[in-house]
Amino acid sequence: MNSSGEDYNLSQDALDSDAHAHAAMDDNAVIEPEDQNAVLLAQTQEKLAYLAAEFENYKRQTARRLDEERFRAQRRLFDELLPAFDNFALAQQYAGQAQDVQQIKTGFDFVAQQMATALQSVGLEPIEAKGQMFDPALHDAIEEIDAPNVASGTVVEQTKQGYRFGGQVLRHSMVKVAR
C-alpha cells in the first residue's frame, strides 16, 4: 500500500508542479498586439451594435411620442371646433326659415365668434393690421390707395385676416396701404 500511496503522491506532485509551471507561463505570457487589437475590435463592435440598437429604439419611441402628441393636438383642435361647426349647421338649417335677415346675421356672427375663440384657444393669434404701419413680415399689400389724413405706409384696410401660430406667421394679412 505504501508503494501505491507513494506513486499517488509522486504523480500528484508532478501534476501540481506542471500546473504551477503553466500558471507561471500564463502570468508571464505576452499577448501579441494582433490579439489585443482583435479583442479590442470585437469589444468595440459589440458596443457599437448595442448603441445602434439603443438608438433605433430611441428613434422608434420618439416617433411614436410625436405621433401621439400630434394626435392629441388635432383632437384638442377638433374638440374646440366641433361646437362651432354644429352651430354653423344649425344656422344653415334655420336660415331658410328666418323672417328677418338680422336673425341670420346674428346667428352667423355667433358662429364666427365661437370659431375665433376655438382657434385662439389652440394658439392661433390674429395679426392686427388696420391702423398699423405696413410691415412686410406681417402684411401683404394688395393695393396702395389715396387716404387723406393718413400717414403714408399706414394700413388703411384689411381685406383678409392674417394669423400667427407658435410665434410664426401662418398667413400674412392682405391689406391696402396709404400712399
Quick one: pLDDT at residue 31?
65
Q: CA of 150: how far to CAs of 16, 127, 136, 138, in Å?
A: 110, 20, 19, 20
Q: Alpha-carbon distance 142 to 160, whole Å?
A: 10
Quick one: pLDDT at residue 7?
47
Q: Please state the rounded mean pLDDT for residues 38-57.
A: 96
Q: Please state the rounded mean pLDDT for residues 69-77.
A: 90
Question: How confident is the model over 121-141, as pLDDT tens digits?
Answer: 888 999 999 999 999 999 999
CB atoms within 10 A of CB 87: 16
